A and B are shown apart, each in its own frame.
Chain A
Amino acid sequence: MATLKELAGQEELFSGGHRLCAGCGIPPIVRLVLRSAKGPVVATTATGCLEVGSTIYPYTSWKVPWMHSAFENAAATISGIESAYKALKRKGRLPVKPVSDDKDTKFIAFGGDGGTYDIGLQALSGAMERGHNFLYVCYDNGAYMNTGIQRSSATPLGSATTTSPAGSVIPGKEEYRKDITRIMVAHRSPYVAQASPHNWKDLEKKAARALEINGPTFLNVMSPCPLGWYSKPEDSIALAKLSTDTCFWPLYEVDEGVLKISYKPKEKKPIGDWLKLQGRFKHLFKPGGEEIIEKIQLDIDTNWERLLDMDGKLIF
């Protein structure tokens, strides 16, 4: 694995000058993942902040071949790209010959939580089941940010969004998040993991592992969003870390069916520590909010216990 110094010396495959917000979690995720391929890479992106922010014609941040076609189909699009690669390789008609027979171009699809948990779930499930050779990276910022912070099925319970506002009767989103990482595990993907950009070493290791596998792999990455979380841009990385210290966002991997927790906080922090730094949970700190915070805490605790139980075990 690269040291920070080595990383800093590597060529940047996703350049600056893009229009993503200050403090956005997406660029560091994309930069790290692209480098982890250590070789030729082709990427696609679902409609969302990453796509809109990185390629305003005639500019592009992408120094690797990249395409966007629509919102719900990043996994289907990468299926087609990867299939063309296989066919052209077989026919000896690839535009660039592979370095060696076993060193194939890597294929990566990026999508936000909306493009992954919701509208893109079908295409993702199909591509996973068909077993294409690709890595799907979900940057989970917990809402449809590009269109102005509407709820998604990744939005945490209690969060206020523009379609689940905290009103006088309904206190923000009333439903639990969908656990897409488990859904991906249920596809018997050879490698599924959760990561966070504050722990760049872990993220890089997981991306590299996912990309060395020949098959459909999945990374779910925590992606702070100052705009949608009503948080300070300079707090983003600290918020990412807190999401793992509170075990709201456990770091773990399921490698060939074996679950391994990658980070166990010495002292698990109360979820309030994370919530209070974000305006989207502001209403939970008013009278009546404690119950909801308790509910969130209970859910986190249950999930964390469940993971600890499975740690080191073959789960499929």
Chain B
Amino acid sequence: MTTTDTAVAPPTQPRVARAGVVGKFLRSTTGPIGAGVMGILLLVALGADLIAPYDPLARAGAALQQPGGEFWFGTDELGRDIFSRVVHGTRLSLQTAVGAAAFAGVVGLPLGVLAGYVGGATDAILMRITDFVLAVPGILFALVVVAVLGSGVWNLTLAIGIGATPTFIRLARASTLSLREQEYVLAARSMGASPFDIMARTITPNIMGPIIVQIIVTASVAILVAAALSFVGLGTPPPAPSWGGMLQSSRAYLFQQVWYAVLPGVVLAVTIAALDAIGRGMQVALGTRTAGRAKVGGMG
């Protein structure tokens, strides 16, 4: 300790910054609720085999039974337990959601950072490609991909993932462009950091906030699109217990067995609402959406 000058003062700000995002998320109105619901759904998906009382694909009793002690939400037209099918459907839905969001994030984030940081021809080419994909409505795009690759859970996931990627590229690019002007990026260059190092270590961690919000949004879109495609018969092929597929086949029996339609519908709605709640909570925590006013600004 050779310090001779005096100002070894402790920080003037209280220690809120580090635990800040998580703390603010937990203190937001919607965040903890959404996270709690999603947590339960995740457990259901992981433990589907333990939770579901029956095999989702096999006949368990008489067709179209009303809810009761044996079948909590009744059975479908083939005598399969509706509750067990919805439980396993959760696994399918979350698989698609996680898979599609992860694909779009893993592919889109680095491409967007690259386009934003390197600029020039790389940027121009990537932007034209994203323009093209974005010009086609997502569901139509997924339809085409599924038509080409054939139906199936993973093809569906891939189709939705590809459709969601341009948004990530755009977002990552825009965030990178604004960050490029930050002095700490210039500082990293002044230290001799390579472009790859700057993109990976300086820029990427600092744009993760909006990217995470986008991942949540993508997950919820993926669930909706998967359900819609299954509803029109282009998603997960039967007999897989997809929510969309169940909603489709339940239509014929709405008056005999209302729970056949209600249970998958409600669970789908709750999942989307929970993801939305998390997204809002994240935005509050990251400061992109303000919960209230009152910031001590412009004092002095």
Decide if A and B are genuine partners.
Answer: no
Which residues does B use to contact A, with CB under 8 Å?
none
Which residues does A use to contact B, with CB under 8 Å?
none
